[in-house]
Amino acid sequence: MSTLSRVLQEVEFNDQLLGSGNHVFQRLQALNADGLERVREAFIKADHPRFSKFFSSGLPFGHIADYEKKVNAATLEQLAGLIKIRGFLMQTKIYMFWKKENWE
């Protein structure tokens, strides 16, 4: 995912605002054709199972074979969805476990 992160930073996406659909969509609209192509290529190279699931909502993992075609044909809204997923995957997550001492 580091290549994807680097490409998104190069085309001036703010990592802290990747969860904002409005910010992501506006940045995509502002990109020229070359910038959009770089974003598409970065997603194709990233090939994370969660990204392929985005295009195959009825399946548990999605079809990796169709992933490249679907990324190349993706609308701006779909690319914004992929970028939001990338933002979520890159967040630091903390899981807390505890044990209740007294079960009475």
Q: What are 35-87's pLDDT values in tens digits?
A: 999 999 999 888 788 888 888 877 776 677 788 899 999 999 999 999 998 88
SS3 33: helix
Q: What are 23-44's pLDDT values in tens digits?
A: 899 999 999 999 999 999 999 8
Structural contact between residues 10 and 38, judged by C-beta atoms closer than 8 angstroms: yes
Ranges of beta strands (E only) in 33-85 are none
User: What are the backbone dihedrals phi and psi of residue 55, each rounded to the nearest 5 degrees, phi first?
Assistant: -90, -10
d(CA 56, CA 26): 25
- Extract the tokens encoding 75: 């609308």
Q: Judge if pTM exceeds 0.85.
A: no
Closest CA to 23 of 31, 32, 14: 14
